[in-house]
């Protein structure tokens, strides 16, 4: 039943899901790690990116331009949001962060519904990538290779940014001791705003990349945000490298769990029992994984100060 | 008798001095030849499935407009409530309609879970209720009520039609998929009731799962003869897009219910080509009533009506006939319910033949509709009637006759 090519296809699916999660988790983990800010509205930025990408693609006819528009739009929204609302909340406790950003989630979801209606927005796959690629007799959608490619490129890019640039140095310093960085004369307010904007931009990129495969609609950011939160907890809060590895682990575990857990259960239990329990258990898998990590290494698998 | 009142919300908000109450009472007495009917409309009007609720409301209001703002010759007030697809919120709104607004009839009633939560209060009150989106098996069977009607369908009907269609096409090996909740299980059970071949795989996915790449890889590995799925709303948009991108849609027959319809087509466009859907209605249906309905709906709302708009439209037509029968007098609720039942076989439905069965659920055709790309354009056409004038399999358990 479990052939090599099926396993390969599922690993690719897991990798693709993982890099998409990474794009979301990278911004989330930086904001959480450096500013100690819980941002539930990150999913709303992902949604805005998806809409901006969809509209950009419709208007320009170029997918590359659409991605650029989505990134620029979410970067700007991120900056404005940070200046107007988020920066006023840093000194408050986490419960206030959750309350305020949850309000923002509702605001953005309703805004999307008012602007673009309750119906999912139409996005097409770029023509050149609408086909499939054959791998050992298995057809895999070309567009998903683009997602994997872009995700890996962003991972490399963020590694270079964090380890080879002055901004990266400040980010690394900020994630370990933000008060000291401020005391050394760095404009921490500006750093925070830029960082928040960059995180928003990556979320927007993730949304724009997901647009052609998912339905672009109000509220699309929330389910994926929850998984992204799992990723940053598993990876270690504040660590971009941790977010990358954890995103891949969660992506592959979720995909393989969804496929093979029900199959496995059918070997062990009655078919009707397995059919009911399989999907339920598979959907719990990533949370069980997170619980395990929290019990074993509460600081996460790849905590910030080591990498 | 309800006082004549065009805008209940504003009048409720203002203080009501005694002389105005007297005036209203006098007015109501004077206007007793043409009293107003009040309809409570319950539908999911927010959240990801808001479009489904909006279509029911729009269909209903189109019919009311065409009848000159009247039902059964009397002016009509339509009060709308959003159930948010939550059974407790829906049941609360139904209670308000019955106790506070004292409505003549309740229309809409949302999805099966909301209808089931509201059922005890509906049964107790005797108020006529027309569901335009649900027909759960308990209401079709042992828990049927003389005053609760479904203008929509028994939930299994469309899936049974697809099972019959696949069977008639000589399909032997089929791959089934649905979200892991009651309606998903009911749909696959409905399909299997009529399909006699082999089910090579029956997959249940998480509700609101956005990505189906893992399941589609499995589908490709199993290589079935045909696929049948139930993925309503945004889930359907995700699934169909991804199946198309994986190169599987178009490779084998693809059957579905409540997945590719008027609510999802605008977001799918070409991705929906080569699919076959089972439904009791589609805008493509070729009847004189439907052509008029589609033209009017498009003119008013600038989009094609879905099956949900059709059930809303038909509900208003049934109420129009029934209110005329009782001369606008709904005080005798049992008599009004009888009139609604009789009206079911008298009005002209946009979906073709229609009447209420003993359990107050529709006896109607279930069609197969194919979406094809012809000359660069997407066309939906009817390709068969797998279940003509179909009666559901639960009506024998209903004590009504």
At B126, list the tokens.
Answer: 């005797």
The continuous run of DSSP H or E covering B276 comes out as strand B275-279
In chain A, the residue whose alpha carbon lies closest to the alpha carbon of B246 is A141
d(CA B159, CA B229): 9
Q: Kindly tell me if the per-residue pLDDT of A107 is higher than 50.
A: yes
Q: Do B247 and A262 touch (CB under 8 A)?
A: no
Q: Where are the domains of chain A?
A: 13-120+140-306
Q: Which of residues 204-233 of B touch A (CB under 8 A)?
A: 204-206, 208, 210-211, 213-215, 217-218, 220-221
- Partner residue opposite A141 with nearest CB, options B210, B215, B246: B246
Residues from chain A contacting residue B208 (CB–CB below 8 Å): 223
Q: How far is B247 from chain A (nearest CA, A)?
A: 6
User: Under an 8 A CB cutoff, do B214 and A217 touch?
Assistant: no
- Fold exhibited by the domain B157-279+365-397: Rossmann fold (3.40.50)
Nearest to A277 by CA among A285, A289, A290, A265: A265
**Residues A285, A250: Cα–Cα separation, whole Å:** 9
User: Which tokens belong to B124?
Assistant: 């107790």
Average pLDDT, chain A: 90
pLDDT in tens, A260-273: 888 888 888 887 78
**DSSP assignments along B220-233, one per residue:** HHH--SEEEEE--H
Beta carbons within 10 angstroms of residue B196's beta carbon:
11
Flag if B245 and A218 touch (Cβ within 8 Å).
Answer: no
d(CA B393, CA B401): 15
Rounded to the nearest 5°, which phi and psi values hold at B360? 70, 20
Residues of A in Cβ contact (< 8 Å) with B234:
120, 215, 217, 220
Tokens of B377: 């354009």
Q: Cβ contacts (< 8 Å) between B270 and chain A: which residues?
A: 124
> Per-domain residue ranges for chain B?
34-153+286-356, 157-279+365-397
List per-residue pLDDT tens for chain B, 401 residues long: 344 444 444 334 444 455 555 555 555 544 444 568 999 999 998 877 788 999 999 999 999 999 999 999 999 999 999 998 899 999 999 999 999 999 999 999 999 989 999 999 999 999 999 999 999 999 999 999 999 999 999 999 999 999 999 999 999 999 999 998 888 988 999 999 999 999 999 999 888 888 999 999 999 999 999 999 999 888 899 999 999 999 999 999 999 999 999 889 988 989 999 999 999 999 999 999 999 999 999 999 999 999 999 999 999 999 999 999 999 999 999 999 999 999 999 999 999 999 999 999 999 999 999 999 988 889 999 999 999 999 999 999 999 98
Residue B34: the pLDDT is: 52
Report the CATH fold assignment for A13-120+140-306.
ABC transporter involved in vitamin B12 uptake, BtuC (1.10.3470)
Please state, in angstroms and rounded to a whole number, the distance separating the CA atoms of residues A172 and A159: 11
Give chain B's count of helices (H) and strands (E): 14, 14
Distance CA B357, CA B391 (A): 7
Instruction: Determine the Cα–Cα distance for residues B63 and B57; give it in Å rounded to an integer.
Output: 10
Using an 8 Å CB-CB cutoff, list chain A residues near B85: none
Residues in chain A with CB shorter than 8 Å from the CB of B246 are 132, 139-141
For A148-189, the pLDDT digits (tens) are 999 999 999 999 998 899 988 988 887 778 788 888 888 888
Residue B296, C-beta contacts closer than 8 angstroms, at least 6 positions apart: B62, B66
Q: Exposed, middle or buried, B239 (CB in 10 Å: 0-12/13-18/19+)?
A: buried
Q: Do B205 and A9 touch (CB under 8 A)?
A: no
Per-residue pLDDT at B7: 43
CA distance A291 to chain B (A): 20
- Give A223 to chain B, closest Cα distance, Å: 8
- Long-range contacts of the stretch B205-208 (C-beta < 8 A, 24+): B205/A258, B205/A279, B205/B177, B205/B178, B205/B179, B205/B180, B206/A279, B206/A282, B206/A283, B206/B179, B206/B180, B207/B179, B207/B180, B207/B181, B207/B235, B208/A223, B208/B48, B208/B179, B208/B234, B208/B235
Contact between chains at A3 and B180 (C-beta distance less than 8 A):
no
Tell me what pLDDT residue B207 has: 82
Q: Which residue of B has its CA nearest to A253?
A: B214
Burial zone of B334 (CB within 10 Å; 0-12 exposed, 13-18 middle, 19+ buried): exposed
Q: What is the torsion angle, in degrees rounded to the nearest 10, for the CA atoms of residue A52, residue A167, residue A97 and residue B50?
A: 10
Pairing of strands B275-279, B362-374: antiparallel
Architecture of the structural domain at B34-153+286-356: 3-Layer(aba) Sandwich (3.40)
Instruction: Tell me which of B374 and A19 has the higher pLDDT.
Output: A19
Q: How far apart are CA B367 and CA A304, in angstroms?
A: 59
Q: What is the ipTM of this complex?
A: 0.86
């Amino acid at each position: 039943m479990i052939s090599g090519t099926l396993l390969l296809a599922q690993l690719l699916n897991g990798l693709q899901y993982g890099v998409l999660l990474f794009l979301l988790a990278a911004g989330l983990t930086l904001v959480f790690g450096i500013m100690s800010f819980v941002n539930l509205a990150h999913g709303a930025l992902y949604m805005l990116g998806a809409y901006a990408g969809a509209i950009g693609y419709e208007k320009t006819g170029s997918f590359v331009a659409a991605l650029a528009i989505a990134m620029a739009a979410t970067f700007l929204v991120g900056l404005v949001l940070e200046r107007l609302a988020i920066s006023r909340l840093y000194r408050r406790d986490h419960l206030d962060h959750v309350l305020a950003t949850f309000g923002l989630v509702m605001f953005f979801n309703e805004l999307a519904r008012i602007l673009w209606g309750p119906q999912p927005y139409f996005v097409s796959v770029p023509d050149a990538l609408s086909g499939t690629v054959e791998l050992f007799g298995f057809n895999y959608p070309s567009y998903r290779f683009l997602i994997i490619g872009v995700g890996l490129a962003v991972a490399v890019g963020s590694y270079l940014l964090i380890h080879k640039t002055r901004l990266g140095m400040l980010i690394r310093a900020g994630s370990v001791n933000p008060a000291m960085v401020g005391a050394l004369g760095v404009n921490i307010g500006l750093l925070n705003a830029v960082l928040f904007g960059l995180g928003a931009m990556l979320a927007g990129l993730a949304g724009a990349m997901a647009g052609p495969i998912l339905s672009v609609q109000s509220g699309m950011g929330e389910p994926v945000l929850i998984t992204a939160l799992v990723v940053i907890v598993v990876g270690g809060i504040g660590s971009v490298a941790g977010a990358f590895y954890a995103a891949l682990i969660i992506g592959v575990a979720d995909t393989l769990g969804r496929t093979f857990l029900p199959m496995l259960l059918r070997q062990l239990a009655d078919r009707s029992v397995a059919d009911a329990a399989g999907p339920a258990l598979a959907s719990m898998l990533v949370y069980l994984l997170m619980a395990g990590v929290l019990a074993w290494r509460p600081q996460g698998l790849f905590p910030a100060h080591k990498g | 008798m309800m006082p004549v009142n065009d805008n209940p919300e504003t009048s409720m908000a203002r203080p009501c001095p005694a002389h105005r109450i007297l005036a209203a009472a006098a007015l109501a007495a004077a206007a007793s030849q043409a009293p107003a009917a009040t309809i409570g409309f319950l539908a999911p009007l927010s959240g990801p499935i808001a479009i489904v609720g909006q279509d029911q409301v729009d269909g209903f209001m189109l019919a009311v407009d065409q009848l000159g703002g009247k039902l059964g010759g009397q002016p009509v007030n339509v009060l709308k409530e959003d159930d948010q697809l939550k059974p407790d919120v829906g049941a609360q709104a139904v209670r308000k309609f019955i106790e506070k607004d004292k409505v003549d009839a309740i229309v809409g009633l949302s999805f099966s879970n909301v209808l089931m939560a509201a059922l005890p209060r509906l049964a107790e009150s005797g108020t006529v209720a027309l569901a335009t989106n649900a027909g759960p098996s308990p209401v079709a069977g042992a828990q049927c009520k003389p005053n609760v009607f479904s203008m929509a369908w028994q939930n299994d009907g469309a899936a049974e039609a697809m099972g019959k269609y696949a069977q008639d096409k000589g399909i032997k090996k089929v791959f089934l998929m649905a979200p892991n909740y009651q309606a998903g299980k009911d749909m696959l059970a409905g399909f299997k009731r009529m399909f006699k071949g082999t089910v090579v795989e029956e997959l249940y996915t998480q509700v609101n799962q956005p990505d189906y790449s893992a399941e589609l890889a499995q589908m490709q590995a199993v290589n079935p003869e045909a696929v049948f799925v139930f993925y309503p709303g945004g889930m359907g948009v995700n699934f169909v897009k991804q199946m198309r991108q994986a190169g599987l849609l178009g490779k084998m027959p693809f059957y579905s219910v409540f997945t590719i319809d008027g609510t999802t087509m605008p977001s799918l466009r070409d991705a929906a080509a080569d699919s076959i859907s089972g439904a009791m209605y589609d805008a493509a249906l070729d009847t004189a009533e439907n052509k008029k309905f589609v033209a009017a709906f498009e003119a008013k709302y600038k989009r094609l009506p879905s099956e949900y708009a059709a059930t809303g439209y038909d509900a208003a037509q049934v109420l129009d006939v029934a209110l005329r029968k009782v001369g606008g007098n709904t005080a005798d609720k049992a008599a009004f319910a009888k009139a609604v039942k009789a009206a079911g076989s008298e009005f002209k439905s946009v979906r073709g033949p229609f009447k209420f069965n003993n359990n107050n659920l529709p006896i109607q055709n279930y069609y197969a509709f194919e979406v094809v790309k012809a000359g660069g354009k997407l066309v939906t056409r009817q390709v068969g009637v797998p279940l003509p004038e179909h009666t559901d399999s639960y009506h024998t358990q209903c004590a009504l006759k």
